Copies of this chain bind each other. A is one copy, B any other.
Amino acid sequence: MISLSRTEIEALIDLRNIAPAIEDAYRAASAGEVNLPPVGHITFPDLNADCHIKYGHLSGNESFVIKVATGFPTNTAQDLETGNGLVLVMSAKTGAVQAVLHDEMLLTDVRTGIGGAIASRALARSDSQCVLIVGTGPQAQRQIEAHAALMPNPLRFELWGRNANRAGELVETLSKEFDVNNAKDLEKATKRADIIVTATGATAPLIHSDWVKAGTHITAVGADAPGKQELDPALVARADLIAVDLVLQCLDHGEISHAFQAGLIRANDIIELGALLDSPQSGRSTDEQITLVDLTGIAAQDIAIASSILDAHAK
């Protein structure tokens, strides 16, 4: 039985190695090759906290994966991370526990970053250079890391956050490693961006449709629960191509649910990222199109990253 600490897991992470496994996971999920039972959920109403249990099995895999992830917003008062948990890798042949990955949410953060970059790589213009990151949470860094590692061209990043101080501090830290600047004005930064990545917990639109220039690609990872929203529904309706990780989940939980429920888009207008990766001809066809990928996160990604970490550990 393997037990790895967060530090040990961190040392095994190689974004370029993990990305193909996560692409395969999207493909398998869209092809119906992943058994993904309903997510388990327990709440702690007094603390506005909860625990999610995502689990599933990819057809033919020797292992299956159970991810336990907690969210306790009150942790910030004790200067603790709000996200925590672990990933169990279990034998699909004997039911034995093969590994406990004490990642404390690290793998979820990393796979979400990689998912965002895969989405941008699939649909953004190939000459994209300027990436606007909206948000100052853990995903701001993860999306920058993953886009820098996985996009074909060198990128320059701008970062904007609702909390200007936090945005400034984060840019100062990240600029040691990446070409990243503080975007003071969201409207102007939106107009400059080739790629926009929204990663906030906002509950009202931040990005307005008329700020977005033709040819922009948007990857929305923030809105992963009912009630959250980062994009103007008119922008969702204006998009020439909309992709999601899982249609059923996104129509209910995701960013696009608002436009869908308002009747501005139809389920048939949406393609799954896995199907898109399988048939690139269904992707962007002109440099003028606006493309949008809405990601809410699926257990297939957790399976892929856990397997990748164990493979790296075995080497």
Q: A residues bordering B, Cβ < 8 Å?
A: 1, 3, 35, 37-38, 40-44, 47, 49, 51, 53, 55-57, 64, 66, 68, 70-72, 75, 78, 80, 82-86, 88, 90, 92-97, 100, 102, 104
A95 touches B49 (CB 8 A): yes
For A35, the closest partner residue in chain B by CB is B42
Please state the number of chain copies in the assembly. Answer: 2
Given known contacts A1-B102, A42-B56, is B68 in contact with A94 (CB within 8 Å)?
no
Known: A95-B71, A95-B85, A100-B100. A41 touches B47 (CB 8 A): no
**A102 and B97: CB pair below 8 A?**
yes
A-B contact pairs, 13 of them (CB 8 A): A3-B100, A37-B42, A40-B55, A42-B55, A51-B66, A51-B95, A68-B90, A70-B95, A71-B95, A82-B95, A83-B95, A96-B104, A100-B100
Main SS at interface, chain A: strand
List B contacts of A38 (CB < 8 A). Answer: 40
Contact A53 B55 (CB under 8 A): yes
Most buried by B among A1, A41, A66, A80: A66
A38 to B68 CA separation, bound complex (whole angstroms) = 16
* Bound complex: CA A125 to CA B94 (Å): 43
Q: A84-B97, A96-B84, A97-B85 are in contact. Are A51 and B90 (CB under 8 A)?
A: yes
Q: Top 4 A-B pairs ranked by shortest CB distance?
A: A70-B95, A72-B95, A84-B95, A40-B40
Q: A49-B95, A53-B55 are in contact. List 4 more A-B contacts (CB 8 A).
A: A42-B55, A53-B53, A71-B95, A72-B95
Residues of B within 8 A of A53 (CB): 40, 53, 55, 66
Cα distance, A49 to B57, chains bound together (Å): 13
